[in-house]
């Protein structure tokens, strides 16, 4: 089979490995780090007032130390974590650093890999943030240093460093300890507190609210213990993460949805956390949804009708030129269609004002890097027809990037260097190459049907502007994505893709027969 034939055959054996199940684990870890920093606040520090400075009569130092957790995914012990509070000198000033280090064993499409995650934030004792770090080890890192009224953010992806200056975060040590103030104050059910957190990966402050949802007594280590059930809500992600906190503000359990699975951190003693054996957990099933009814041959179908139930996040109901929802008594009916091309495809480089945002270089889509630019020009040559250029790039990415589940932060440059990855890497490289030749492109995230698994699952593909936006799937080798693609989040980036975690947790899909013409 030559490449052109492979391009037109999404059921190729290699393409059957197209699931972006690892997407859920990566995103879950990022959210968990944000939530766990909130939890570290509740374990480690406690100003009693809402000001940036801790109360003078509160001895923060007595909370200095480490707390250990076992990590469970789908009910199996697959990792360990430690949360720390350290007292230190930073720029010759007293400071405190909260951190979380996690080791997580996962399997992605049978490929076992260990992820090492580090999240830390340093605050001056006076309250202001000084430094932050978000790292997946060799997979990449994001480091922020506050300089006056700005923060210098350095990303290290694909062996290339990118620096940018942004307004300094406004969250303080008081925000880091907001949950502790809530718990140690003897709250009533329904009491809540704001606890914003800065996300170094995306350079933005996430709003977060912790709410006491219940108070009860449970046996813990054989001793009756008063505990609070607390829910941390992050609206940008449509995330609600439940946790169990002792009346002494000791975090006993954190729970995070990972598609149809749950990621749980449970408090343990140091010996148990360090010495317990770990299993590798296959995460492919976390995003699998098997539909009822008979699926059509998507290689020939121009449209697909589905009945969807269990959708709770209304922002995931996206109507655009290729998919439309109709509210029904049972939920929603979705009509998904294959894109059509404009009568006159645009010419590259595209100058239209409304799409210039999707030509910019970012730390995920390094379209201005010399290697990306050179490869894009080699693929496209002198072609100026926007759709033909898109086709050529899709063909090249599909035929040259090895299909492999990877524990990495999807970005164009690293994918070009390694020439392997799952759908996130295929999509990132496609976007980077398109932008390098003046072709607006972005990543789309949602569900796609995989006939080898007879299921829909979490997937990343692309949208490219050729005079109109069309969907392209470089992982499947589809210059026009088949109608089995359901876009679930509208944003172009991981921060928006977090919504997928909750969106599919209760989703059920039924295939409907096509309507008669």
Residue pLDDT, tens place only, 83-131? 998 999 999 999 999 898 999 888 766 677 888 888 899 999 999 999 9
Q: Say what the pLDDT of residue 23 is.
A: 36
Q: Of the ranges 261-275, 276-290, 385-399, which one carries the lowest mean pLDDT score?
A: 276-290
Residue 233: pLDDT band with limits 50, 70, 90: confident
Average pLDDT over residues 390-398: 97
Q: Between 63 and 486, where is the model more confident?
A: 486
Which DSSP state fits 354?
G
Among the listed residues 128, 158, 72, the one whose alpha carbon sits nearest the alpha carbon of residue 372: 158
Least trusted range by pLDDT, from 133-137, 157-161, 187-191, 292-296? 157-161
| pLDDT class of 46 with cuts at 50, 70, 90 | very low
For the segment 467-508, what is each residue's pLDDT rounded down to a tens digit?
A: 999 999 999 999 999 999 999 887 655 555 667 767 777 889
Say whether pLDDT at 311 is over 60.
yes
> Residue 116: helix, strand or coil by DSSP?
strand
Q: Which residues pair with 292 in a beta bridge?
A: 510
Average the pLDDT over 59-84 and give the result: 87
Supply the pLDDT for residue 43: 32
Phi, psi (5° rounding) for residue 150?
A: -130, 165
pLDDT recorded at residue 31: 40
pLDDT reading at 34 higher than 50? no
420: Cβ contacts below 8 Å, ≥ 6 apart: 401, 402, 403, 404, 406
Per-residue confidence (pLDDT) for residue 5, from 0 to 100? 35
Percent of the chain with pLDDT over 90: 50
Q: Are 203 and 166 in contact (CB under 8 A)?
A: yes
386-393 average pLDDT score: 97
Helices then strands, each counted (H, E), the chain: 11, 27
Residue among 225, 276, 274, 281 at smallest CA distance from 253? 225
- State the average pLDDT for the chain: 83
Calculate mean pLDDT across residues 182-187: 86
pLDDT at 64 > cutoff 90: no
Give the Å distances, CA to CA, from 34 to 176, 241, 414, 516.
11, 11, 25, 50
What pTM does this model have?
Answer: 0.77
**Measured between alpha carbons, how far is 454 from 264 in angstroms, rounded to an integer?**
29
Q: Is the pLDDT of residue 9 over 80?
A: no
Q: pLDDT tens digits for 410-428?
A: 889 989 999 988 888 999 9
> What proportion of the chain, given as a percentage, has pLDDT over 70?
84
Q: What SS3 state is found at 402?
A: strand
> Which H or E run includes 386?
helix 386-400
């Amino acid at each position: 089979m030559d490449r052109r034939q492979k391009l037109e055959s999404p059921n190729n054996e290699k393409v059957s490995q197209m699931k972006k199940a690892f997407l859920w684990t990566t995103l879950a870890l990022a959210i968990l780090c944000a939530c766990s920093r909130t939890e570290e606040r509740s374990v480690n520090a406690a100003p009693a007032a809402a000001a940036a400075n801790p109360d003078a009569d509160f001895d923060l130092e007595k909370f200095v130390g480490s707390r250990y957790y076992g990590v469970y995914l789908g009910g199996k012990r697959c990792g360990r974590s430690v949360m720390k509070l350290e007292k230190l000198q930073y720029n010759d000033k007293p400071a405190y650093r909260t951190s979380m280090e996690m080791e997580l064993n996962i399997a992605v499409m049978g490929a076992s890999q260990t992820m090492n995650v580090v999240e830390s934030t340093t605050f001056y004792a006076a309250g202001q943030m000084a430094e932050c770090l978000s790292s997946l080890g060799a997979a990449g890192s994001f480091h922020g240093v506050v300089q006056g009224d700005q923060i210098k953010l350095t990303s290290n992806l694909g062996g290339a460093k990118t620096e940018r200056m942004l307004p300094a975060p406004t969250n303080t040590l008081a925000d880091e300890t907001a949950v502790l103030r809530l718990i140690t104050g003897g709250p009533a059910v329904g009491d809540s507190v704001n606890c914003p957190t800065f996300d170094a990966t995306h350079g933005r402050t996430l709003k977060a609210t912790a709410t006491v949802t219940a108070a009860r007594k449970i046996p813990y280590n054989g001793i009756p213990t008063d505990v609070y059930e607390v829910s941390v809500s992050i609206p940008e992600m449509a995330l609600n993460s439940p946790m169990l906190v002792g009346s002494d503000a000791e975090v006993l359990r954190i729970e995070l949805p990972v598609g149809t699975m749950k990621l749980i951190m449970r408090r343990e003693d140091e010996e148990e956390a360090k010495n317990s054996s770990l299993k590798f957990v296959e995460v492919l099933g976390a995003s699998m949804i098997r539909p009822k009814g008979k699926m059509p041959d998507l290689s020939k179908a121009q449209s697909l009708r589905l009945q969807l139930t269990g959708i709770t996040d209304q922002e995931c109901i996206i109507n655009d030129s290729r998919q439309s929802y109709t509210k029904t008594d049972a939920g929603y009916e979705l009509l998904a269609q294959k894109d059509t091309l404009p009568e006159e495809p645009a010419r590259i480089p595209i100058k239209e004002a409304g799409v210039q945002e999707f030509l910019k270089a970012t730390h995920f889509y390094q379209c201005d890097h010399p290697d990306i630019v050179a490869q894009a020009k080699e693929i496209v040559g002198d072609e100026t027809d926007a759709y033909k250029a898109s086709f050529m790039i899709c063909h090249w990415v599909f035929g040259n990037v090895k299909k492999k589940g990877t524990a990495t932060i999807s970005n164009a440059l690293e994918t070009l260097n390694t020439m392997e990855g799952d759908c996130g890497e295929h999509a990132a490289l496609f976007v980077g190459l398109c932008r390098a030749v003046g072709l607006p492109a972005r990543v789309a995230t949602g569900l796609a049907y995989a006939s080898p698994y007879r299921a829909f699952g979490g997937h990343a593909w692309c949208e490219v502007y050729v005079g109109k936006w069309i969907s392209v799937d470089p992982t499947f080798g589809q210059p026009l994505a088949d109608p089995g693609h359901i876009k679930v989040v509208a944003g172009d980036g991981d921060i928006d893709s977090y919504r997928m975690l909750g969106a599919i947790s209760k989703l059920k899909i039924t295939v409907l027969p096509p309507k008669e013409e």
